[in-house]
């Protein structure tokens, strides 16, 4: 799959059997949480998050939690360590994979602020009451996504709903460190409205650069399309449909690791 972002052509080769989809529009059978919003057509929006005091506490607690996770993974960090310099600690794939095992699928009871505060804010944005609990498996979790500079740490382009447990939710991308116009998440606007027939993908989880991903990977797209790299700033959230094609977010920064929170909410 070849695509361009930031004026640079990027590509990945996904191993495995692949096929084009049928004419089904998956969103037509979904509980579309973007439907009541003004940004339904594009499938995403950047929105403000918390009051300033809440945000300051949120960032401080994120820092404390990340440092503890890295210590638990055996990395040597002190209280003054700059989060976006993580790549200097995890400078090989083995160390990185060990470290990110500690920063994914974290229970929301450890969320940096009471999880009800983020649930309330995202409910306001979507115009309906939401909760950070997956009805498929009753999990209530969040993840830190940690993408080292100039490394193949990112997922391929995909729709989350190709995994059965991510139907009917809304996705959050909250920048924590090193997230900017060269590193933030990549999305294809309006792709949540596309039929599957526009997309060729691997038929199961993809293998790329010796890494295995649970989600199928986009391997080709018919017709013209436009990729964007929205850039949420401090105290902002990128909120988007799980039916939107996203991922492929190679960190093009020369010396900053990108750290963000990934989280999903469902209608109560």
Report the C-alpha gap between 172 and 72 in whole angstroms: 26
Residue 39 has pLDDT above 90, yes or no: yes
Confidence check: pLDDT of 209 > 80: no
pLDDT at 211 > cutoff 80: no
Average pLDDT, the chain: 93
Residue located via tokens 């804010």: 121
| pLDDT band, very low/low/confident/very high, at 153 (cuts 50, 70, 90) | confident
pLDDT at 14 > cutoff 90: no
Segments making up each domain of the chain, as ranges: 2-267
Least confident span in 77-81, 104-108, 203-207, 243-247 = 203-207
pLDDT of residue 202: 93
pTM of the full structure: 0.95
Mean pLDDT value of segment 234-256: 94
Give CA–CA dist 191/157, Å, rounded: 12
The DSSP code for 83 is G
User: For the purposes of burial, counting CB atoms within 10 Å of the CB of 196, is it exposed (0-12), middle (13-18) or buried (19 or more)?
Assistant: middle
Partners of 211 in the beta sheet? 208
What is the greatest pairwise CA distance in the chain? Answer: 53
pLDDT confidence tier of residue 225, bands split at 50, 70 and 90: very high
Q: Name the pairing type of β-strands 199-202 and 130-131.
A: unpaired
Mean pLDDT of 16-22: 91
Assess contact for 67 and 61: CB atoms under 8 A.
no
List, in sequence order, every residue forming a beta bridge with 3; answer none if it has no partner. 10
What are the beta bridge partners of residue 130? Answer: 267
**Could you tell me the CA-to-CA distances from 167 to 38, 59, 125 in Å, in that order?**
21, 29, 19
Confidence of residue 138 (pLDDT cuts 50, 70, 90): very high
Q: Where does the chain have alpha helices with state H?
A: 52-72, 86-89, 93-100, 115-126
| pLDDT digits 0-9 by tens, 187-204 | 999 999 999 999 999 988
Structure tokens of 216? 């199928």
Q: What is the pLDDT of residue 146?
A: 96
CA geometry: angle 176, 178, 182, nearest 5 deg = 125
The pLDDT of 38-58, averaged and rounded, is 95
Cα–Cα dist 192/38, whole Å? 15
The percent of residues above 90 in pLDDT, for the chain, comes to 79
Quote the CATH superfamily of domain 2-267: q2cbj1_9rhob like domain (2.60.120.620)
Percentage of the chain surpassing pLDDT 70?
100
Instruction: Give the list of residues 6+ apart from residue 15 with CB closer than 8 angstroms, or none.
Output: 202, 206, 207, 208
**pLDDT tens, 50-94?**
998 999 999 999 999 999 999 999 999 988 999 999 999 999 989
């Amino acid at each position: 799959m070849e695509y361009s972002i930031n004026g640079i052509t990027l590509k990945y080769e996904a191993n495995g059997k692949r096929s084009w989809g049928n004419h089904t529009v998956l969103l037509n059978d979904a509980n579309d949480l973007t439907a009541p919003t003004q940004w339904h057509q594009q499938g995403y929006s950047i929105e403000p998050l918390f009051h300033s005091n809440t945000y300051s506490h949120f960032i401080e607690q994120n820092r404390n939690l990340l440092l503890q996770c890295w210590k638990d993974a055996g990395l040597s960090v002190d209280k003054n360590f700059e989060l976006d310099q993580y790549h200097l600690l995890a400078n090989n794939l083995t160390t990185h994979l060990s470290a990110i095992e500690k920063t994914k699928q974290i229970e929301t009871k450890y969320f940096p602020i009471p999880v009800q505060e983020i649930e309330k804010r995202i409910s306001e944005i979507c115009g309906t009451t939401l909760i950070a609990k997956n009805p498929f498996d009753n999990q209530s979790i969040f993840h830190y996504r940690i993408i080292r500079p100039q490394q193949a740490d990112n997922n391929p382009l995909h729709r989350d709903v190709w995994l059965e447990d991510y139907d009917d939710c809304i996705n959050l991308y909250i920048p924590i460190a090193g997230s900017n116009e060269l590193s933030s998440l990549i999305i294809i606007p309006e792709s949540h409205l596309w039929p599957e027939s526009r997309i060729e993908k691997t038929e199961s989880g993809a293998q790329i650069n010796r890494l295995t991903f649970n989600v199928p990977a986009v391997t080709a797209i018919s017709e013209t399309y436009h990729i964007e790299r929205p850039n949420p700033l401090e105290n902002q959230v990128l909120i988007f449909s799980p039916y939107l094609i996203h991922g492929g977010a190679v960190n093009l920064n020369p010396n900053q690791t990108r750290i963000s929170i990934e989280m999903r909410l469902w209608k109560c």
